[in-house]
């Protein structure tokens, strides 16, 4: 029992801290039975509550792994994962959440749900009961189901009749992660099933080409996801993917870019180039807060067309005053000749294997002046092994590169690791890219002539990435 005592202490202490913060800030702890509302996350804005919740969750999961019969634990936690994704896709694609939202808190009998979405009543009953056993939906009485905190996140917010009659426009204008979840349950889940076949194939197993990843094996040909989405007949998947990425951006506030550098210390008129910057979402807060900067947003022609629309709505004055310019540019090509104070890239390098990443970073190094900074916004994979936190061992490390570890006996990466490592699997399966440990990224940058000077972390706990700030070697 000695090994359980520290976990129990973490849970008790964490719950006590949560209750204390709830009382102090009047921020209630979420109710699993109620549909999600953004206000229910207000408690997590308090750092004490955020840490307490993370420790309680990690300790509870470790207790489950410790006390479950090992065969049951291995099977239900791992091997049966594909069944859960299959069941969730059935519910999501057949619009169960929208139907149950209209039914209200009393729920709806499965026969009535099936009558609306056209599925077999008995099979749907089994699907929803299986999901309810993992706290997605609730069975309020036999065969009667309702939404809860988790299932309601799938809600498009539209009338069920509309999404049933027009599934291709289901996520248009919808808030939340619905499109992202649908993308994962479709392309990525199918591709994940072929990961072993891909890794064990002599031709693809050691390849880092984007057209030889598990998704390519699933599709049965050498093609990367970008080209696949552009093929005739895949318009819906491409559109859904674009909406999924917008949803991701909404969960990762663009204002976090303000924490990426001491922007106010840059000389007036400094040039900041957002490489592969999309429509410029992450430069908008910079343009608003530091109007003395000259910002260049670079991306491919089609994206830059959309960028003109974005800036016309967001900050037309910045474009008119030439404080923001929009430029067609591939990050694999040589940069235009000019003095650049900061090259900024968000979530670009993780899309690419080391070989392609080196090409991108080398082009920026060639274009850099001696005082140019490179700021990469990328997730950092934490090790699952515990690292020494003794001052003597940390001395000499790059400032900000040492992760705060969860207390023993929790896994040291239990706070930030699960989501980032899931993202790494997405990169492996869908793109042949990867999230990287700090040591990996540091070596990659050094090999292309960049030295990491510091790692900066956003103030918000909800942001999954950090900022590598580098200078030319």
Q: What is the pLDDT of residues 376-418, one digit of tens each?
A: 999 999 999 998 878 777 778 999 998 889 999 999 988 777 8
pLDDT given for residue 85 in this prediction = 97
Gap between the Cα atoms of 209 and 188, Å rounded: 17
Give the tokens for residue 385.
Answer: 């092994």
Are residues 311 and 265 located together in one domain of the fold?
yes
The sign of the dihedral angle between the CA atoms of 51, 423, 183, 467 is: positive
From 120, 143, 169, the end of a domain falls on 169
Q: How much is the pLDDT for 247?
A: 77
Q: Is the domain of 311 the same as that of 439?
A: yes
Of 250, 285, 313, the residue that ends a domain is: 250
pTM comes to: 0.91
308 and 240 housed in the same domain: no
Read off φ and ψ for residue 426, nearest 5 degrees.
-60, -45
Q: How many Å apart are CA 246 and CA 233, to the nearest integer?
A: 22
Token readout for 399 is 């400032």
Helix (H) or strand (E) holding 145: strand 144-146
Q: How many CB atoms lie within 10 A of CB 317?
A: 11
Q: Between 468 and 77, whose confidence is greater?
A: 468
| Whether pLDDT at 293 is above 90 | yes
For the segment 52-72, what is each residue's pLDDT rounded down to a tens digit?
Answer: 999 999 999 999 999 999 999
401: containing domain: 252-472
Among 113, 138, 169, residue at a domain's last position = 169
The tens digit of pLDDT for each residue in 93-134 reads: 999 999 999 999 999 999 999 999 999 999 999 999 999 999
Task: Report the range of poorest mean pLDDT among 132-136, 343-347, 358-362, 459-463.
Answer: 459-463
Percentage of the chain with pLDDT > 90? Answer: 87
DSSP reduced 3-state for 280 = coil
Q: pLDDT class for 441, splitting at 50, 70, 90? A: very high
Report the share of the chain in percent with pLDDT over 70.
99
Q: Are residues 223 and 104 in the same domain?
A: no
Q: Are residues 397 and 458 in the same domain?
A: yes
For residues 251-280, give the mean pLDDT. 94
Residue 171, burial from CB neighbour count under 10 angstroms (0-12, 13-18, 19+): buried
Closest CA to 319 of 284, 282, 349, 355: 284
> Where residue 426 sits, what CATH number does that domain have?
3.40.50.150
- Residue by residue, DSSP assigns 303-355 as HHHHHHHHHHHH-HHHHHTTSEEEEE--TTSPPPSS--SEEEEES-GGGS-HH
Is the same domain home to 44 and 132?
no
What is the reported pLDDT for 1? 53
The pLDDT assigned to 258 comes to 97
Residues 302 and 375 in one domain: yes
Does position 311 have pLDDT exceeding 70, yes or no? yes
In this predicted structure, what is the pLDDT of residue 473? Answer: 96
- Mark whether 25 and 80 lie in a shared domain: no
Supply the pLDDT for residue 2: 61
First to last CA, the chain: 53
Residues 6 or more apart whose Cβ sits within 8 Å of residue 186: 89, 237
CA 240 and chain centroid, separation: 16
* Contact (CB, 8 A) for 304 and 326: yes
Rounded mean pLDDT of the chain? 95
Strand duo 324-328 + 450-456: pairing: unpaired
Active-site positions read 350
Question: Based on the domain organization, do 429 and 458 belong to the same domain?
Answer: yes
Q: Looking at residues 463-467, what average pLDDT do you find?
A: 93
If one counts the domains in the chain, the total is 4
Same-domain status, 103 and 220: no
Q: Nearest-CA neighbor of 310 among 281, 283, 287?
A: 281
Q: Are the beta carbons of 469 and 246 closer than 8 angstroms?
A: no
* pLDDT at position 462: 75
pLDDT of residue 20: 98
More confident residue, 16 or 462: 16
340 & 437 share domain: yes
Does one domain contain both 225 and 99? no
**Mean pLDDT over residues 164-176, rounded?**
93
SS3 state at 139: strand
465 contacts 456 by C-beta, under 8 angstroms: no
When comparing pLDDT for 175 and 198, which is higher? Answer: 198
């Amino acid at each position: 029992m000695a090994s359980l005592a520290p976990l129990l202490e973490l849970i008790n202490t964490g719950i006590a801290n949560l209750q204390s913060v709830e009382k102090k800030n009047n921020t209630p702890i979420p109710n699993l039975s109620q549909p999600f509302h953004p206000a229910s996350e207000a408690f997590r804005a308090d750092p004490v509550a955020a840490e307490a919740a993370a420790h309680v969750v990690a300790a509870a999961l470790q207790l489950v792994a410790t006390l479950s019969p090992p065969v049951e634990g291995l099977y239900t936690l791992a091997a049966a994962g594909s069944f859960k994704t299959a069941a969730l896709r059935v519910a999501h694609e057949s619009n169960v959440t929208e139907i149950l939202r209209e039914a209200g808190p009393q729920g709806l009998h499965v026969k009535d749900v099936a009558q609306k979405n056209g599925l077999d009543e008995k099979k749907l009953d089994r699907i929803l009961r299986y999901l309810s056993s993992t706290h997605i939906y609730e069975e309020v009485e036999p065969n009667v189901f309702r939404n809860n905190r988790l299932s309601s996140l799938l809600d498009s917010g539209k009338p069920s009749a509309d999404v049933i009659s027009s599934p291709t426009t289901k996520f248009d204008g919808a808030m939340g992660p619905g499109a992202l979840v649908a993308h994962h349950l479709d392309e990525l889940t199918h591709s994940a099933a072929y990961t072993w076949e891909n890794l064990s194939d002599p031709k693809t197993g050691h390849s880092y080409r984007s057209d030889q990843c598990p998704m390519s094996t699933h599709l049965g040909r050498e093609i990367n996801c970008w080209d696949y989405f552009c093929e005739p007949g895949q318009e819906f998947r491409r559109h859904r993917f674009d909406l999924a990425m917008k949803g991701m951006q909404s969960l990762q506030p663009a204002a976090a870019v303000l924490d990426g550098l001491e922007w106010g210390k840059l000389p007036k008129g400094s040039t900041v180039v957002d490489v592969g910057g999309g429509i410029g979402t992450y430069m908008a807060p910079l343009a608003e807060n530091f109007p003395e900067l000259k910002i260049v947003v670079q991306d491919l022609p089609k994206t830059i067309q959309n960028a003109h629309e974005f800036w016309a709505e967001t900050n037309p004055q910045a474009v008119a005053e030439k404080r923001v310019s929009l430029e067609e540019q591939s990050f694999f090509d040589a940069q235009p000749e000019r003095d650049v104070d900061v090259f900024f890239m968000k979530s670009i390098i993780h899309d690419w294997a080391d070989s392609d990443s080196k090409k991108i970073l080398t082009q920026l190094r060639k274009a850099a002046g001696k005082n140019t900074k490179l700021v990469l916004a990328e997730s950092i994979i934490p090790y699952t092994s515990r690292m020494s936190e003794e001052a003597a061992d940390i001395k000499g490390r790059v400032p900000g590169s040492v992760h705060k570890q969860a207390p023993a006996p929790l896994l040291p990466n239990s706070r930030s690791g699960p989501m980032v490592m899931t993202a790494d699997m997405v990169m492996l399966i869908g793109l042949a890219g990867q999230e990287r440990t700090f040591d990996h990224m540091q070596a990659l940058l050094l090999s292309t002539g960049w030295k990491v000077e510091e790692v900066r972390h956003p103030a918000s706990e909800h942001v999954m990435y950090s900022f590598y700030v580098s200078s030319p070697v």
